[in-house]
A and B are shown apart, each in its own frame.
Chain A
Amino acid sequence: MQFNLLVAACLLYVIFLFAVAFMVERRAAGGRVGWLRSPLVYTLSLSIYCTAWTFYGAVGYAARSGLEFLTIYFGPTLVFIGWWWLLRKLVRIGQQYRVTSIADLISSRYGKSNTLGVIVTLIAVIAATPYIALQLQSVVLSFGVFATGTPDGVTPPDAASTAIWVAAGLAVFTILFGTRNLDAKEQHHGIVTAIAVEAVVKLVALVAVGAFVVWGIAGGVGEIMARIDAAELSAWQVQPGRWTGLIFLSAVAVITLPRMFQVMVVENDDEGHLARASWAFPAYLMLMSLFIVPIAVVGLERLPADANPDMFVLTLPLAEGQGGLALLAFLGGFSSATSMVIVESIALATMISNHIVIPLWLRLRPAPEGQGEDLRGVVLMARRLAIGGVLALGYGYYQVSGGSAALAAIGLIAFLGVAQVLPAMLGGLFWRGATRVGAILGLLTGFVVWSFTSFLPSFGPGAVLSETVFAEGLFGLAWLRPYSLFGTEAMDPITHALFWSLTLNALAFCLGSLLSFPDPVERLQGAAFVKVFEGAVGPQRWARGQAEPEALLSMAQRILGEEEALSLFQAAAREQGKEGYLPDPTPGFLDTLEARLSGSVGAATAHAMISQLVGRATVTVEDLMAVASESAHIMEYSAQLEAREAELTRTAGALREANEKLMQISIQKDAFLSQISHELRTPMTSIRAFSEILTEGDLPPEQVAKYGRIIHDEAKRLTRLLDDLLDLSVLENGTVQLNLGLASLQQMLDTALTAARQTRPERSFTIHRDLPSEAFYIKTDADRLTQVFINLISNARKYCDAPRPELRITVRQRGGRVMVDFVDNGKGIPKSSQALIFEKFARLTDANRAGGAGLGLAICREIMANLGGSIAYLPGQGGAAFRVTLPLRLEKAAA
């Protein structure tokens, strides 16, 4: 194969990618995203997980350590097939809070702390540098494969200049499409689509080589199985700890790698895509690994012993004379390397510019009041320089390390480096108690341990860490040896580093979180992130500050550009019902503005810029309480409503009852009126009749005396009736004069019994009393109380219908009150009438009408009310039963 043909193919391929990216950008600019944002493109873009390390390195890995390479794909498979809920939460937060990178996520979660942003950025850059170097190296190696022994006499450039050309070319491509615009959502349609195309190319290439090996060389599946059995590949390094450790590590890395975060979260448009990716991405990984073992086995078998197994994918087709296939494989490997480098450098450049360059710039060159230069230029320039810088770092690392042979080891070390973000990230997503201090401590601890046990030793003994450190430990302390920290020698280096760095990291994170107290912004952000699905907490609330809308506008223009800032402000002003471009700086508007800005420069910077203008740096604890009490208010309000409703129901019930009672009383009153007129009329009639007879004269004197007595008796009856009515009205008005004094209850009952004997004197009544219990004095109006007793006993005498009437009088004292029960053995009062008997003019059956106008109990009730007590009917006592309750000592005031 001719080398210049290879270069030409390579250039053509790059031009093709340029064209794809350019066309997509054009479409996206026209708003026609359509299929560009389909689950398929999303899944394919996730495939940047498979870098050149996969494409070339996996075969080498398999040739060296058997099936262990599978662990690198098992981890992501496990995460995607089952833990989409974790990914979905990430994506939801990313969309809701316009997260621009993993550093932005961490910084935003922990109170928009830029310190954290810087730490995560540095860790990511340091961990990614060797990885980028790895990609460069793989491209250089693959060029080298074609360059060796070129028959056409073209002298291929040496490795170093190839690397520099590749790095420069990648930088140009990335800058052109990654930093064309400062998007509010930090999305790059062109690049994502180009990466999806590259994903297809690398899959097709690897599967083509694999198919050629299986069916072209080996001659079928059964044949290849036999060869695998025959080959002396080691199955795996028989260490279950390492096997599971690597699965865990790759599972963590797929979430925390900056480039994975970029395509998975930042470039995501639709959470629903995750559902498709949950099986499609593992399927992609599976297809990528399907032919690794066959290629490794056949390569080991066919190629000379000194051939680099990392390059089998290329050298096998070349050795078999399949130039075209080799070219395809080359393009596949080229795709793997370039797509990874492009996305990684975009992600890192965003982090560097948002968390390091812009904050520094703003600090060093504070804008003059009211105006400042267009920051967008600065941001874009910072990103371009950062992309160049990241690639230069990768190139530098490649030059310094001199292209070490084993790609896989570097990959794992990089994985472990970014994995240090895991505790702070998961803690931030699921634990509201996670604090900034904890996150900083955890990250720093993890970073230091990782550097000491994994990163620095990777340069080899004597390079960074001296050989004595390897042998005797740091400062000569044996428990500080890089590969056996605290004397743990049983693990291999990567498992050892994984175990100690993540354990100590998580420990520091938890301890720091438990022992520190978060500030209000942190607490607000924590609640907003952890409860993102409940939507209970809005974003940061700005208090209405003294910010000048004009200053805000000029600041927004610096970042968003004039046109966009103006339209944003105009829309906000219109929403507030104002004309023009200057809305009031309400909390809501400030939130919107901050969200918009943070899409461009990250949460921490946006927050700092706005708080500079608003004048108050943070929310206060009072604001937090206000947010909390808002929801509490709503709940309280609904509870109040419920209580009010219950009260209304009660009132309605009471009203209904009262109404029924009123109706009955009205009926009774009518009945009574006829009754009372009858009662009044009867004596009046006899008085009139007898007085007429008397006026006629001519009567014997004894007759006159008899008629006179009758007239007198009837007049007395009338008077008594009128007295009762009068008494009742006095009692009801509360104008009665009480004559308080000490009196014996026993005496009062005696008096009452004697007096009541006049009622139906013909009936013999058995009275049950417990004399000792009655022997005490109470302070009350004795006459009035006796009147009540007389009334009750008389009623019993009148109405008790038992053949052998009995009356039981029971006296009890309870807590300063006296209760006197009168229970007879008649049939009692029917339930329907019990509510009425104390009403005026109430009278029950006509059967026992023994005179009286039905005022007795009504008077009793009024008397008892005046005496500070009560009278009630006791149901269920085997007869009519009344309970009189009154205070033992009635004070004047209560009267």
Chain B
Amino acid sequence: MADQATISAAGLGAARTSASEAWGPRPRRALSRRNIIIYGTLTVVALYYLLPLYVMIVTSLKGMPEIRMGNIFSPPMEITFEPWVKAWATACTGLNCEGLSRGFWNSVRITIPSVVISILIASVNGYALANWRFRGADIFFTILIVGAFIPYQVMIYPIVIILREMGLYGSLTGLVLVHTVFGMPILTLLFRNYFASVPEELFKAARVDGAGFWAIYFKIMLPMSLPIFVVAVILQITGIWNDFLFGVVYTKPDVYPMTVQLNNIVNSVQGVKEYNVNMAATLLTGLVPLIVYFISGKLFVRGIAAGAVKG
């Protein structure tokens, strides 16, 4: 031991790196074969997945003459934002030529109430199922879970009839209702499992402290569940914003969501295919979920870290 101490004190690097005199942390090489393989593979895969995005961005910034030259990978010689403006404001779908802007606002008017209402109801559902074992809770939960496994295509036509009878067919309210209902199984499951992981004693302590159903929900459970709310918001915003099927089935052209309008722009057959406008329109439509991912990703991690501290 004394010898080793002398050697290290003298700073004999050779003695430290030789295997017989192992001392302190094990040396790590940055360019080990393992690292090369891992980072090499990751880089290749990342490039492969980023390539379509690159093509879309590049194409959306080119003019039509340049696109006709056929070099889809080459960067634009002359950058133009005209396709973006056209996609947003003047692209034609059928008879009206207002671009995607109207669809965007429709989508906002669909997504916000659907997200808020579905999460509010589902979180209370999950809380009640996890903490208040009311009579028939198990049956209720089973039905809900079965609901999550039924492909919703089979319910499209019955819902058309239901909405028609309610007088909501073709309206935004109807679509919001449909989104809320279809978000219920998975969201309730999400919240139930989260609330079930909250220590039961916390809930008992709150009851001894005289808090009722809503007081416990608002004062104890809600402040503890930011992470799961962020997850639910991400799920719902992306799911509802990207939805095409319900939008096209349950609404009319003047309230079509952005995705449906995008489809109509891209698939319109008259005239020339304007690839740059199509690309710009697609990027515009995908922007909202992308932004949500980028912002909430950070929040998401922070939320989990904050919630991980045991009380």
Are chains A and B native binding partners rather than an unrelated pairing? no
